[in-house]
Amino acid sequence: PCSTLFPYTLLFRSIWFDTAFQDKKDVRNQEKMLKNLGHALEYYERVLRLEPNNIYAANGGGAVLAQKGYLEFAKDIFTDVHEATAAEISGGLADVWINLAHVYLGLEQYMNAVKMYQNCLRKFFYNNNVNVMLYLARTFYDFDKLHECKNVLLKALHMQPSNYTLWFDLGVAMQQFAVKSLQNEAKRAADVREAIRELNLAVKMFKYCFSFGDKVIKYGFDMTKTKVHLKFCQSMLETGNKHLKYA
């Protein structure tokens, strides 16, 4: 899925943290980004000297460290804040849980990430937050749990059927599921039929993305990438009968 690894939504952020990513796609601004992250970290440290128990400043500092690649340090900070606020129920504190889950994902500690996202969904959002569900689906995808990934995306689509990213991600998950099935040397005929069905559904998903027209471009959707996936699935379908005969 095309969700980013650290899409932080912090309540307590400095202007330095926000401006650090305004031009992140421009290579010339990488130095500026790192400089602004440094200013943000100094800002959070200053707040913590004045208020050592300020969880929002600690959370922000952890976010900066994660963005700079210090995942173990960030995990320690988020873990401390999480433990200090575990008994409280507040939408703002959900950011701490999400950030800790992001770090677990970055460290490839997939089971911990899954549990953290699921607990966050249940505790703060009554299992009804599409963004967190996207993070959970991404974790299942990286964890090679494609069936679980598809189920999460399908639930999210029921909540937001006009979300272009969900349609694209579901198509990618179906494509990957089919490819793994076809590459399995011990595959049965039933497995190949299911893979072909998944590929046909993935083709429909990618074609459906085109039906949104200019709307997807407005939201930064990559139609070129969608075309690549569509052509790949169509080429895999052309060899589907060979796989079925072999199985």
CA atoms of 226 and 232, how far apart (whole Å) = 10
What does pLDDT average to over the chain? 85
Query: What's the distance, Cα to Cα, between the start and end of the chain in Å?
Result: 30
CA atoms of 209 and 216, how far apart (whole Å) = 8
139-184 pLDDT per residue, tens: 999 999 999 999 999 999 999 998 888 999 999 999 999 999 999 8
Q: Are 54 and 13 in contact (CB under 8 A)?
A: no
Helices (H), the chain: 15-19, 30-50, 55-67, 71-85, 94-106, 110-125, 130-142, 146-159, 164-183, 189-210, 214-218, 223-238, 240-246
CA atoms of 33 and 11, how far apart (whole Å) = 20
Q: Are 146 and 176 in contact (CB under 8 A)?
A: yes
18-59 pLDDT per residue, tens: 444 455 555 566 777 778 888 888 989 999 999 998 988 999
pTM (2 decimals)? 0.83
